[in-house]
Amino acid sequence: MFASMAAPVNNPEHGFCRDCLALQRGGGRRCERCGSPRLVRHPELYRLHVAHIDCDAFYAAVEKRDNPALKDKPVIVGGGRRGVVSTACYIARIHGVR
């Protein structure tokens, strides 16, 4: 951990900026470094553990596992009326699906 990231635990005024990741030690409404209003504050923020796991094409792979007939076909997983794509397998991406 960087020395600049050290902050007292359980101080609800401390947080960080979601845009530039600068620590915020006061209770202001904007980032002290970049001026962004996108601040995260929580009394136990510095006690949390966060894991970011990139499951690229994971749901499409699960569909292919559950239905072997889809093995060599482009698979897109999404839903809703807007046509939002949650994930697409690599074959679908070759065909331009993002």
Task: Let me know whether 37 and 68 are in one domain.
Answer: no
Predicted confidence (pLDDT) per residue in 39-81, tens digit: 999 888 878 788 888 788 999 999 999 999 999 999 999 888 8
**DSSP H/E element including 23:** strand 23-24
Task: Let me know whether 4 and 46 are in one domain.
Answer: yes
Could you tell me the CA-to-CA distances from 98 to 36, 75, 80 in Å, in that order?
A: 29, 12, 16
Task: Let me know whether 36 and 10 are in one domain.
Answer: yes
Task: Let me know whether 7 and 41 are in one domain.
Answer: yes
Task: Let me know whether 44 and 74 are in one domain.
Answer: no
Task: Let me know whether 2 and 40 are in one domain.
Answer: yes
Rg of the chain over CA atoms, in angstroms? 21
**Res. 1 pLDDT band, cuts 50 70 90:** very low
At 60, is the secondary structure helix, strand, or coil? helix
pTM above 0.75, yes or no: no
Cα separation, 92 vs 87, in Å, equals 10
Predicted confidence (pLDDT) per residue in 2-27, tens digit: 445 554 556 778 899 999 999 998 88
Note down the domain range covering 68: 58-94
Task: Let me know whether 39 and 5 are in one domain.
Answer: yes
